[in-house]
């Protein structure tokens, strides 16, 4: 058995573990971005609804100031556009989170394969060493039994 091969597989396992750790960090970062985007969308929607209520209250007032109403309507339209942009950003963040989950899952699987291969090779090497020791002991016993007294 070749110990260099075992070292190579162990190095591969370390490399894959490093890749898995990087993928886990990217996954956590993507989760943070989704959380922030969700909060931003909720805040934008709340502010836009408040502006909508303010515009509605202007309509129910006894007198209607058209310049003020137009300004409030423009502000409300801007706020709804911002809420739509936040919704698009949330959709993109969720897509990136799904991608990060796939990368992390694949990296975990690759690390697991390398670890199982290393364990298998260690078992094979251990079996080979046991067989080698057993063969040497058998040869020694045989040579002692045939030695002249």
Write down the CATH number for the domain with range 3-146: 1.10.287.1700
Q: What distance in Å separates the CA atoms of residue 55 and residue 51, rounded to the nearest whole number?
A: 6
How far, in Å, CA of 37 to CA of 88, rounded? Answer: 9
C-alpha count within 13 angstroms, C-beta hemisphere, residue 72: 17
pLDDT per position as a tens digit, 93-142: 999 999 999 999 999 999 999 999 999 988 888 898 899 999 898 888 88
- pLDDT number for residue 149: 61
Domain ranges of the chain: 3-146
Statement: the pTM of the whole predicted model exceeds 0.85: no
pLDDT of residue 59: 82
Angle at 81 between CA 76 and CA 84, to 5 degrees: 125
End-to-end CA distance of the chain: 38
- CA–CA separation, 44 vs 76, rounded Å? 11
């Amino acid at each position: 058995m070749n110990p260099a091969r075992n070292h190579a597989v162990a190095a591969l396992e370390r490399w894959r573990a490093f890749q898995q750790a990087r993928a886990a960090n990217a996954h956590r970062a993507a989760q943070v971005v989704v959380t922030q985007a969700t909060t931003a969308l909720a805040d934008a929607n709340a502010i836009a609804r408040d502006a909508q209520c303010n515009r509605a209250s202007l309509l129910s007032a006894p007198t209607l100031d058209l310049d003020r109403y137009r300004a409030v309507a423009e502000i409300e339209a801007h706020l709804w556009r911002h809420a739509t942009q936040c919704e698009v950003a949330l959709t993109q963040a969720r897509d990136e989170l799904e991608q990060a989950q796939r990368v992390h899952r694949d990296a975990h699987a690759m690390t697991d394969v390398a670890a199982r291969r290393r364990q298998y090779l260690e078992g094979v090497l251990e079996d080979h060493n046991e067989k080698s020791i057993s063969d040497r002991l058998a040869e020694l016993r045989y040579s002692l039994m045939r030695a002249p007294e």
